[in-house]
Amino acid sequence: MSRTRSATAGMPWIGDLPISAGVRVGNLVFLGGHAAITADGSVDHPGDVAAQARRAFESLIASLEECGGSVDDLVDLVSFNLDPRQIPQVLEVGAEFLPPGKEPAWTAVGTTGATVPGALVVIRGIAVLGDSPRECITPRASWWSSIPASAACTKGGLVFVAGQLAIDPDGRALQRGSHAGQAREAVGRVAELLELAGGSLDDLIDMVSFHHDVRGMLDVAEVWERELFAGVSPGEAPALTTIGVPGLHPRGPIGQYRAIADLATGARVGRAPESVWWREMPISAVTKKEAGALVGIAGQVSSDGDGEIVHRGDPGAQAEYCFSQIHAGLEMLGGTLADVVEVTAFHKDPRDWEDVADAARTAFGESRPAWTSVGTTGLYQEGYLHEIHALGVIGSESRGE
């Protein structure tokens, strides 16, 4: 499939960095993290979250249009918010841009920082172009109906599920204080939405979970392995990424679960190289459907096959190691780093993002994936400086036609 880089419309500030504002592969468009950052790299509208969100949406839509799409093609959004209490304001701004009743799936979480100090919100997205119908799913008796977002959006055989939480239809938290209980509830909601879209958890290729308390990741991993995907072999497992965030919306839930599923025919194919320590768990490093093209790539970290931290304290070397892990996984599916279309890099210290971008220059060369860099409160092990999540496209199938 042809690949188009979009760099000037939405992110003029990136200059010669090895990243893109948007990447189109066939009918899939991946949009990097857009923020209110001017061409000279300064923050526009300092201190005004609504104005910054408006500028971020304008930039994101400009990149999408440069790739040949429109706001009506958006199926997935993730917003990273410096102050989680301001998420409602960002949602209100989104309502100005998104088509009523057909809004994309939208996951809104907190972050500790962006590439430029003072950026209050970063928004990334995915669009599916083409003439196939888009279906947006929002359960009627649900708090989703009060915000400009769908619970799930499907087009071209792909299903994007907004971050699900353990909340009742009125927005009240369930299983308060229980990481495991909230994981069961939230992933159960993901399963229900996939069923409404014509699929199931067997079609899940990528999940990212966000945690208000990073200590809950251990409980979630246990529920994942012993309950949700018990009996699933690593070679048939989805990719999973777990990230710490300073807050979720609404208040009360401590975990949020965003998912991508592929309804293409055939079995789910997962692979994990020997250098990935969780390779015996039902969590892959890279996953796609046999007849699909989209690849979910689990967040890669700087630890060896025994789980020992490598390159401790060196942000650049850890980033290089993460990219080598992504490359090793993709090779097992017949791909390369040139097939990576989107990167979301989570950093313990957001100021390290430039070291990661330098490592990306060597790793990706001219392929330049869509890029988002944001800060995290914590990762699965102390000593990880980054976790790098990605999506890839392998094969000639074009979705959305």
Contact 389, 208 (CB under 8 A): yes
Angle of the 216-223 helix axis to the 179-196 helix axis, nearest 10: 50
Mean pLDDT over residues 197-214, rounded? 96
Taking 70 as the threshold, does the pLDDT of residue 350 lie above it?
yes
CB neighbours of residue 366 within 10 Å: 8
Distance of alpha carbon 214 from alpha carbon 336, whole angstroms:
32
How far from each other are the two terminal CA atoms of the chain, in whole angstroms?
A: 13
Mean pLDDT over residues 57-75, rounded? 95
- Kindly report, residue by residue over 89-148, the tens digit of the pLDDT: 999 999 999 999 899 999 999 999 999 999 999 999 999 999 999 999 988 767 788 899
User: Token pair of 378, please?
Assistant: 């914590």
Helix, strand, coil percentages in the chain from 3-state DSSP, rounded to 5:
30, 30, 40
CA geometry: angle 300, 334, 198, nearest 5 deg: 75
Distance of alpha carbon 164 from alpha carbon 257, whole angstroms:
5
Task: Determine phi and psi for 107, rounding to 5 degrees.
Answer: -110, 125
pLDDT score for 401: 47
- Kindly report, residue by residue over 309-343, the tens digit of the pLDDT: 999 999 999 999 999 999 999 999 999 999 999 99
Distance of alpha carbon 34 from alpha carbon 124, whole angstroms:
6
Contact 119, 73 (CB under 8 A): no
Distance of alpha carbon 87 from alpha carbon 109, whole angstroms:
8
Taking 70 as the threshold, does the pLDDT of residue 396 lie above it?
no
Burial-class residue 235 by CB neighbours within 10 Å (0-12, 13-18, 19+).
Answer: middle
pLDDT confidence bin for 75, thresholds 50/70/90: very high
pLDDT score for 142: 75
